[in-house]
Amino acid sequence: MQPLTSTRNPLVLAARDLQTHTGRLSAGQFLCEGEHLVGEAIRHAPERVRAIFVQQGREDAYAALTSTAPVAALYSVPEHVLQALSQVKTAQGIIAVVDLPLPVALHQLGDRVVLLENVQDPGNVGTVLRTADAAGFTGCVLTPGCADPFSAKTLRATMGSVFRVPAVFAQDAPKAASELVGMGYAVIAAVLDGEDFYARAPLPPKVCLLVGNEGAGLTDEICAHATHRYRLPMRGGAESLNAAVAAAIFMYEVVNRG
């Protein structure tokens, strides 16, 4: 394991650039922090884990984990260097540099897709990916207005599901929705003024759920392509649900009740 001692080391500087969206896009890589996320990266994308920085003194504690990374360069760094790479107050002792996934196409997303349109909160985007994975959804579509799934906050909320749920980054979300309709998907808009989701007719096997922005909901442009418009019943005084919560209820219903 190679020791690096300075925050000005070019490898450290290059890794630090990955803390920003533009840095990640230009390098084609992102940072994974903490034992759980680094473990998920190695398990699900072993060839994409390019470097691992381990805090000095913790090399043995992480040896079992780092030994499973087939192509990663391993670096031992003092605490202040790890902290410089970290995006949490107290660094967790291990940070990996991972290649962004190769682009996938809409037809590779499987039968159950969730499309997030301008969901801005990193916690919401991450939670939807985690829930999609748990529910049995097979892919997601994200628009440019969504929180970056490879930011530190979103990654933490995904709990590693970002490695299991393939994502399409759609520049033109209404076009993507229209293409999914053409491919035989039921495209379901989650809206406050739709029909009662619990009174629906059975859905076809291919389903795409549209989830909109936290404040503004779905745009008219994408709703124009929806084949179904459903709401969740609101029995109390609440006017709406959190976006990730609404997506979760829809996804679990679709998978478990059809």
Q: Which residues bind a second copy (CB under 8 A)?
A: 44, 123, 127, 130-137, 157, 159-161, 164-165, 198, 232-242, 244-245, 248-249, 252-253, 255-257
| Min CB(171)–a second copy separation in Å | 27
First to last CA, the chain: 51
> Of 33 and 253, which has the nearer Cβ to a second copy?
253
Quote the CA–CA distance of 172 and 221 in Å, as a whole number: 10
| Min CB(202)–a second copy separation in Å | 15
| Min CB(127)–a second copy separation in Å | 5
| Min CB(208)–a second copy separation in Å | 17
> Of 56 and 242, which has the nearer Cβ to a second copy?
242
> Of 222 and 243, which has the nearer Cβ to a second copy?
243
Residue with tokens 């590779």: 108
Q: What count of residues does the chain have?
A: 258
| Cα–Cα separations (whole angstroms), residue 171 to 142, 165, 227 | 9, 19, 21
> Of 165 and 186, which has the nearer Cβ to a second copy?
165
Number of Cβ within 10 Å of residue 67's Cβ equals 10
> Of 10 and 236, which has the nearer Cβ to a second copy?
236
Residue with tokens 């540099």: 97
| Min CB(133)–a second copy separation in Å | 4
Give, as one character, the DSSP assignment of residue 48: G
Contacts (Cβ under 8 Å, ≥6 apart) of 249: 232, 241
